[in-house]
Chains A and B, each alone.
Chain A
Amino acid sequence: MKKRLNLLSSKKKSNYLVIYRDKIKLVASLIGVLCFIFFIFFTVILFRVKNNINSMNSKKKLYLSYLLDNKDTEANVRYFKGKETQLTEFMKDDAHFLPYYSILKESINTSTQSALLNTVSINKSRETSFNVQFSKYENVISFIKYIESDVFLSKFSQLTLSSFALNVKTAIGNSYKYQLQFKGKFNQINE
């Protein structure tokens, strides 16, 4: 096939840069300006943050030097608290007998003067058993009335009369006609 040259027709060269020159200029300038604003914004914030970091670093240095100067105090406080916690934990094993015994003794003395609080047992869970002895029937009745009152019952989370006996003798030879045996649990008291 023979090659021919047509001088009239010319191939249109498409140069996108030339065609979109104005648009590219506009978009690049806009984004460039926007980026510049962002850059300034970030730089200002960065400057502030760096300032803040510097001030915090100097504070940290100050605190560390204070703690270094007072490391003995800190170690003593930690030791104190550690041992005190151990003490508190171990004291939970204790029955704390006396405060509960005093409550019981006071309550019984309030109800009647002639009652004898004979044997009292209290354990670390505040569970208790105790027996009270009387020589007169009237005292028994007044005591039973008292133990049914809210004043007395407020000291216990539970309380039951487990036994009742007649004609008992104490270890020291005193004769009591009536004996009431109780079992229950004390409410926690704040020592």
Chain B
Amino acid sequence: MNNLKVKKIQFFVKDNWIVLISLFVFFIMLILVNYSFGALSLARIEEDNLLKETQQLKSRVDIVKANAELKSDQIRIYNKMLTMLIPDSEDFFSIIYALEKIGVETGFVISNYTVKVISTTRNKISLVVAGKGDADRFIKFLQNYNFIGGRLATSETIQFSGTNVDTQVNLNFYNQKYIPNDGQLPQLSVKDMERLALIKEKVNIDFTAEKETIDTEYEITDNPFQ
């Protein structure tokens, strides 16, 4: 019985071998096409992701190159100045120093100041500053109060009489921590640098002097009696 079945199969294969091979090749081809299509789809996704990534990196590199042309040393100095103008945390002594310096540099003598609690916030200290000076000195004060003290100062309302002798000005001083972000790298423009150069002229402090570092690379010994 079994012999008969084997014989039958043998005959069947002998009669239809071409058809069977055709079907086999057909299935192999289907598997290959399916595999290559799957691999291609995955490669396409990888290519797209990589393309986005390289484009972002390229734009970052381009911007770093462009920014490097705008004197990186200069940027370092401006960063020091900006940190001084808007410190990360409030330092009341630097405000007192700034008021002192504004008075000395402009000739507008600041005689008294009080904190305006209502307008003071976490990032802003608002002061009412009383000062003395003639019209010319007050004009000089108005020209320079923003930066000359070494702290950014703004005044929301100013009243000026051509004959000012005693007057009061509201001054705001700011602090804010810089929070780094990984977003698009900003492109610096010549205009930015010119603006900061103007501010630096007004601040009039030499930021180029580096702090002396103590050399710790001296020889040490484990035995103090040697």
Contacts of A172 in B (CB 8 A): 163
- How many Å lie between the Cα of A176 and that of B68 in the bound state? 61
Check if B40 sits within 8 Å of A45, measured CB to CB.
yes
A56 to chain B, nearest CB (A): 5
B10 within 8 Å of A (CB atoms) = no
Contact A78 B180 (CB under 8 A): yes
Q: Which of B19-27, B98-106, B208-216 is near enough to bind chain A?
A: B19-27
Give how many A residues have a beta carbon under 8 Å from the other chain's beta carbons.
65
Tally of A-B residue pairs with Cβ under 8 A?
Answer: 201
**Size class of the B contact interface (CB-based, 8 Å):** 35 or more
Give the complex CA separation of A93 and B53 in angstroms.
40
* From B22, B51, B61, B143, contact of A56 by CB (8 A): B51
Report yes or no: B188 in contact with A81, Cβ–Cβ below 8 A: yes
Tell me whether B185 and A77 are in contact (CB under 8 A).
yes
Judge if A103 is at the interface, Cβ distance under 8 Å: no
- CB-defined contacts of A64 to chain B, threshold 8 Å: 57
Task: Give every chain B residue within 8 A of A38 (Cβ-Cβ).
Answer: 33, 36-37
Give CA–CA (A59, B60) in the complex, Å.
Answer: 13
CA distance A17 to B161 in the complex (A): 111
> B52 to nearest A CB, angstroms?
10
A144 in the interface (beta carbon within 8 A) = no
- Asked whether B155 lies within 8 Å of A94 as measured between CB atoms, the reply is yes
Minimum CB–CB distance from B35 to chain A (whole Å) comes to 9
The answer to whether B163 and A95 have CB atoms under 8 Å apart is: no
- Are A95 and B157 CB-contacts (below 8 A) given A60-B50, A60-B53, A73-B67? yes
Interface membership of A154, Cβ < 8 A: no
CB contact list, B128-183 vs A, under 8 A: 139, 142-143, 146, 152, 154-163, 172, 174, 176, 178-181
Asked if A32 and B22 sit within 8 Å, CB to CB, the answer is yes
Q: How far is the CA of A49 from the CA of B158 in the complex (A)?
A: 66
- Nearest chain A CB to B154 CB, angstrom units: 4
Complex contacts, B154 vs chain A, CB 8 Å: 90-91, 93-95, 124
Which B residues are in CB contact (< 8 Å) with A60?
50, 53-54, 57
User: Across the two chains, which residue of chain B brings its CB closest to A170?
Assistant: B163
Given contacts A28-B22, A95-B157, contact A63 B40 (CB under 8 A): no
A residues less than 8 Å from B36 (CB atoms) = 38-39, 42-43, 46
B224 near A: Cβ within 8 Å? no
Binds B, one of A2-10, A112-120, A158-166, A181-189: A112-120
Rounded to whole Å, the gap between the CB of A11 and the closest CB of chain B is 16
Q: Does A168 contact B (CB under 8 A)?
A: no
Distance in angstroms from A73 CB to nearest chain B CB is: 5
Contact of A17 among B19, B40, B54, B181 (CB under 8 A): B19
**In the assembled complex, B115 has its CB within 8 A of some CB on chain A:** no
CB nearest to A66 among chain B residues: B61
Q: How far is the CB of B103 from chain A (nearest CB, A)?
A: 18
Asked if A29 is an interface residue, CB under 8 A from chain B, the answer is yes
Q: Does B46 contact A (CB under 8 A)?
A: yes
User: Which of A's residues lie within 8 Å of B, judged by CB?
Assistant: 17-18, 21, 24-25, 28-29, 31-32, 35-36, 38-39, 42-43, 45-46, 49-50, 52-53, 56-57, 59-60, 63-64, 66-67, 70, 72-84, 86-87, 90-91, 93-95, 97-98, 101, 116-124, 170-172
Q: List 13 A-B contacts (CB under 8 A).
A: A35-B26, A56-B50, A80-B75, A80-B82, A82-B180, A84-B192, A86-B82, A87-B82, A97-B160, A119-B161, A120-B160, A121-B157, A123-B157
